[in-house]
């Protein structure tokens, strides 16, 4: 009845693999992306295209669960073009009125760079910036803002069917 989700693994420029497990024997998983059912599977992993600049929320249910297991909190996939003279890139997030280092990405000759920023609060605007650093010094930061909003959880209801009248009563669950 418990689904555990591992950290995502980048397998391509905009492609990530998620792996999960359950304490239910031979479970049927239902995987939701941004509140929509996208996969029903017995496999314990899937690969998702997650384009940069879009928020992503993955939720996973096993066959015994009725409430989605959220993959952490919403996360952002940042992407940027390489700078010819950069030796590395500094990725920062604006938190409590200051820029905080969240990643340092070493330059290895790629034309495009990506990083995944996780554990973001829902329904909040987040600011990030990426700065190229070269032997000549630090460049001008490029700043981007995200507002991440997860689809609301569905309401919990009790339904009662009266076979005598054929009526169904729907009430908020306690």
Give the pLDDT of residue 9: 80
- CATH code of the domain occupying 75-148: 2.60.40.10
Domain ranges of the chain: 3-71, 75-148
Q: Which residue has the tokens 């997030």?
A: 93
Find out whether 122 and 148 touch, Cβ atoms under 8 Å. yes
Q: What is the pLDDT of residues 34-79, one digit of tens each?
A: 777 888 888 888 888 877 666 667 778 777 766 554 444 456 777 7
Q: What is the pLDDT of residues 70-107, one digit of tens each?
A: 444 456 777 778 888 889 888 888 888 999 988 888 88
Find out whether 3 and 69 touch, Cβ atoms under 8 Å. yes
Give the torsion sign (CA, 26, 66, 75, 79).
Answer: positive
Band of pLDDT at residue 133, cut at 50, 70 and 90: very high
Find out whether 31 and 59 touch, Cβ atoms under 8 Å. yes
In this prediction, residues 102-128 reach a mean pLDDT of 75
* DSSP-assigned letter for residue 164: T
Give the pLDDT of residue 168: 78
Q: Which CATH class is domain 3-71?
A: mainly beta
In this prediction, residues 111-128 reach a mean pLDDT of 72
Mean pLDDT of the chain: 77
Give the pLDDT of residue 58: 77
Instruction: Tell which wins on pLDDT, 51 or 25.
Output: 25
Cα gap 148→163, rounded to integer Å? 45
Counting residues of the chain whose pLDDT is more than 90, the rounded percentage is 5
User: Is residue 158 scored above 60 in pLDDT?
Assistant: yes
SS3 content of the chain, % helix, strand, coil (to 5): 0, 60, 40
User: Is residue 161 scored above 70 in pLDDT?
Assistant: yes
Q: What is the pTM of this model?
A: 0.48
């Amino acid at each position: 009845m418990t689904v555990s989700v591992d950290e995502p693994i980048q397998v391509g420029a905009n492609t990530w693999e998620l792996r999960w497990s359950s304490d239910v024997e031979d479970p049927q998983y239902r995987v939701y992306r941004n509140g929509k059912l996208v996969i029903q599977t017995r496999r314990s992993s899937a690969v998702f295209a997650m384009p940069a600049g879009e928020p992503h929320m993955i939720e996973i249910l096993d066959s015994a669960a009725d409430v989605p297991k959220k993959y952490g909190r919403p996360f952002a996939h940042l992407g940027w073009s390489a700078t010819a003279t950069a030796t590395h890139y500094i990725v920062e997030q604006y938190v409590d009125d200051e820029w905080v280092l969240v990643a340092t990405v070493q330059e290895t000759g790629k034309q495009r760079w990506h990083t995944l920023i996780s554990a973001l609060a829902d329904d909040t605007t987040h600011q990030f910036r990426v700065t190229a650093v070269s032997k000549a010094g630090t460049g001008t930061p490029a700043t981007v803002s995200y507002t991440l909003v997860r689809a609301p959880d569905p309401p919990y209801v009790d339904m009662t069917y009266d076979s005598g009248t054929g009526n169904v009563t729907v009430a908020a669950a306690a």
